[in-house]
Chain A
Amino acid sequence: MSIIKLNNRAVKDATAVGSITGLGNLVFISRSTASSSSSVSITSGIDSTYKEYIFMFNNIHPATDGTHFDFQATTNGSDFNIATTTTTFEAYNHETSGVTALTYDPNKDHAQDTGYINLIDNIGSDNDQSFSGFLHLFEPSSSVFVKHFLFTGQRITSNDYSANDRTAGYFNTTSAITGLSFKFESGNIDAGTIDMYGVK
């Protein structure tokens, strides 16, 4: 048996700490790489295996300056048109002008909208501009509950603001969500990756 001695808050002489199990982990499922793509869809790997899925957006770069990034879900693998209700708010700070605020604009919300849903808007298309963020989708295979999601994104806007956006809502269906589709409201997704993880 190892001897563990506490001495001034430090652990000394520990030769083994045993193992910890059952804490869960993040399981990488797939990576989608956009390359002048009108849309990126993921219709494989979203099922009842995990109760939560996380989508990591890494430097998503638009071809069109100032465009908005949207998404929708499907229950049949092809029709992305689930009634969706969301709300969103943002904090922003301009590079040089000192214009800064925390704002909520109800015009950016969606109520039972079956079209593509805005996650983050006005993303600059300069070579060094993009957005990054992550989206949590909770229990997409539930037959009881609507499907909640939370998005947090960081972008540089076309007019040089740093903006942190929070969008949350639910797909108003008790059918299993089996896929998501992402696209800009105008122009291609010039570049970027979307990694999908399952939370075990």
Chain B
Amino acid sequence: MPRYKMVNGERIQFTAAEETARDAEEATWESGAFDRAMADLRQRRNALLAATDFNALSDVTMSADMTTYRQNLRDLTNGLSTVADINAVVYPTKPE
């Protein structure tokens, strides 16, 4: 199916060169799907870890529930091999 671009409100069909360039972009996007999903998961996981980092200060005693929670966050990326695996990840519940 041919592709089209909008230029100043006018719908224009891609040239052959533009189709080839876009095909290459789409292939690059597709090949990076797993890495993007993992990066997204790690970013969210790291934010959750950072939000509880103060529990690891030397003058704070970390509860067993908090220790388990943080370990589960660290283990979140274990065994993931497909984008579907990543999308199915369930974040652990933060203890009170």
Contact = CB atoms under 8 A, between A and B. Distances in A.
B87 A159 contact: yes
Nearest to B47: A101
Contacts of A30: 8-9
B91 A99 contact: yes
A43 B7 contact: yes
A39 interface: yes
A103 interface: yes
B43 interface: yes
A27 to B, nearest CB: 17
B3 A38 contact: yes
B5 A39 contact: yes
A193 B12 CA distance: 17
Contacts of B96: none
A59 to B, nearest CB: 16
B94 A98 contact: yes
Interface residues of A, number: 31
Given A185-B25, A186-B30, A38 B5 contact: yes
Contacts of B60: none
A37 interface: yes
Interface in A98-141: 98-99, 101, 103, 105, 107, 122
B80 interface: no
| Interface bracket on B | 20 to 34
A164 B90 CA distance: 23
B11 A97 contact: no
A185 B26 CA distance: 7
A38 B47 CA distance: 34
Contact of B48 (A44, A101, A188): A101
Contact of A33 (B6, B18, B91): B6
Contact of A41 (B7, B48, B94): B7
B87 A42 contact: no
A103 B5 contact: no
B8 A43 contact: yes
17 contacts: A30-B9, A31-B9, A32-B8, A33-B9, A36-B4, A38-B5, A38-B18, A39-B5, A39-B6, A40-B6, A41-B6, A64-B29, A101-B48, A101-B51, A185-B25, A186-B25, A186-B30
